[in-house]
Amino acid sequence: MLTVVALFFAVVVYARVPTMVGVGVYDVRAEYSDASGLYPKAMVTYQGVKVGEVAELEVGDGGATAVLRIDDEHDIPATVVAELHSTSAIGEQYVDLVPAPEGAADPEQSTSLADGDVIPVDRTVEMPQITPVLESVNDLLESVPRERTRRVLDQVDEGLGGSGPDLASTIEDADESPQHRAGEIGRHDVLDQDRPAGPGHPAGVAKHDSWLRAVPCVLHR
The verdict on residue 163 lying in a domain is yes
d(CA 129, CA 131): 6
Same domain, 97 and 160: no
Nearest to 125 by CA among 76, 59, 80: 80
**In a shared domain, residues 152 and 55:** no
Report helix angle 146-160 to 209-219, nearest 10.
170
Q: Is 193 a domain residue?
A: yes
For the chain, how many structural domains are there in total? Answer: 2
- pLDDT, tens digit only, all 221 positions of the chain: 666 555 655 544 444 444 454 468 999 999 999 888 899 999 999 988 999 999 999 998 889 999 999 999 999 999 999 999 988 766 789 999 999 887 655 555 558 899 999 999 999 999 876 667 778 878 887 887 777 777 877 887 777 776 767 777 777 776 665 555 555 555 555 444 555 544 445 455 455 555 545 544 444 45
pLDDT score for 17: 47
Do 152 and 105 share a structural domain? no
How many angstroms separate the CA atoms of 203 and 172, rounded? 23
Q: Are residues 205 and 106 in the same domain?
A: no
Predicted pLDDT of residue 66 = 96
Q: What is the pLDDT of residue 143?
A: 81
Residue 63 exposed, middle or buried by CB count within 10 Å (0-12, 13-18, 19+): middle
Based on the domain organization, do 57 and 166 belong to the same domain?
A: no
> Domain for residue 121, yes or no?
yes
> Does a structural domain hold residue 137?
no
Question: Are 211 and 152 within one domain?
Answer: yes
Same domain, 42 and 112: yes
- Tell me: do 49 and 111 sit in the same domain: yes
**Residues, the chain:** 221
- Is residue 133 domain-resident? no
Q: Which of 128, 159, 178 is the last residue of a domain?
A: 128
Do 157 and 60 belong to one domain?
no
Region of residue 85 (left: phi > 0; alpha: psi -120 to 50; beta: else): beta
- State whether 124 and 148 are in the same domain: no
Tell me how far apart the alpha carbons of residues 154 and 156 are, in angstroms, rounded to a whole number: 5
Same domain, 6 and 81: yes
pLDDT at 21: 47
How many Cβ atoms sit within 10 Å of the Cβ of residue 32? Answer: 23
What is the domain range of residue 187? 144-219
Residue 139, domain member (yes or no)? no
Whether 151 and 182 map to the same domain: the answer is yes
In a domain, 136, yes or no: no
